[in-house]
Amino acid sequence: MNLSRCRTAFCIFHLVAASAAASDPIAKAGNGIPILSPIDKTTVEVKDGAKTIQIPAGMVFVPAGKFTFGRNEERDLPGFAMGRFEVTNAEYKAFVDATKHRGVPRYWKNGTYPEGKAAHPVLFVSLVDAEAYCQWISQETGWKVVVPSAEQWEKAARGPQAFLYPWGNDKDSSYGGGKLQTHFNYNAVCTAYMLDKEAKTITSYVDKSKEAGKQGRVEDIMTSNGQVFSLTSDGGVNGWIDHNTNTGFVNTQIYRNLVDNGGFTTAVGTYESGKSAYGCYDMAGNAYEWTSSVIVATNGAEKGKEVNDVRGGSWYSTGRSGQSLCTGEGRARSGGYHSVGFRIAMIP
């Protein structure tokens, strides 16, 4: 990670004090940081110039000011706090248990998430569910907690230098000798694991595929145009999916099993080198994140439809999708999706 960026972030957001003792954590992030109850009222003081501001302990502060939005548009925002991590399964369960909310992710069984995934981002939650989660925290704490706008999300992700990814302007991934080097969790991470641990496993194409019922080893999966399931030297993925014939890895039973278990997510905070200059983790990869902003999608099944902007890519998507700009991806606010979670923001 760029040390000059670390020093800048530290000077702006120097941690001063906690207002009260925190409750016991309900999970631990991949880097060991405790994840507190969503309604834990512990706050910290941060310095924003001459001002001192109180924000929730699980958040970072993004100061007021101008920033680059999109390719070269200058915009201005007041200061706000942003979740350090994506909302986790453990946090969402605390909400469901307290409110009896009915929007339970489809991969949960008997009212809870899969074993070992407490600190993984919650998926299959609609924007409606995310807004209900924010409303609950607001009511319990007195804070103004919201799903961030696309502007807030992008500023928090790109940092003062307006990087295209949270860490810089390049994906900066590589693959060689069976090892993947990357700053974030995108489809190459799943691919590398499958080729290392499950290469000889027998799987079959699912019913909607042109090759439905055909069996073979994971390492031999391919699309109809002949792309074998594999990684390129720059961390790209071949043989992931062919939308025309429903072939490739995404159309196999082993992939479907992954989705049924909450996807190939990683614990939030796993990728230290991938955090933004403001201190937000996983703003590239792991899970797409809802925003409150509406766009006309230019990508995917939603192309041409008015939907809510989702940002940051996911465990399922390509490395390019991890860019901090709008990539044209959007989803219907009432839907739950296998690669979409969310992060919260707070207006001090």
Quick one: pLDDT band at residue 51, thresholds 50, 70, 90?
A: confident
Quick one: pLDDT band at residue 15, thresholds 50, 70, 90?
A: very low
Model pLDDT, residue 190 = 98
Task: Evaluate if pTM is beyond 0.95.
Answer: no
**What angle do the packed helices 89-99 and 127-141 form, to 10 degrees?**
70
Up-side HSE of residue 179: CA atoms within 13 Å toward CB?
Answer: 2
Backbone torsions φ then ψ of 185, nearest 5 degrees: -95, 100
Quick one: pLDDT band at residue 50, thresholds 50, 70, 90?
A: confident
CB 104 within 8 Å of CB 111: yes
Question: Does pLDDT of 343 surpass 90?
Answer: yes
Up-side HSE of residue 45: CA atoms within 13 Å toward CB?
Answer: 10
Tell me whether residue 95 is exposed, middle or buried, using C-beta atoms within 10 angstroms of its C-beta: 0 to 12, 13 to 18, 19 or more.
buried
pLDDT per position as a tens digit, 74-120: 999 999 999 999 999 999 999 999 999 999 999 999 999 999 999 99
Mean pLDDT of the chain: 93
Q: What percent of the chain has pLDDT over 90?
A: 90
Quick one: pLDDT band at residue 300, thresholds 50, 70, 90?
A: confident
Q: What is the mean pLDDT of residues 121-135?
A: 98
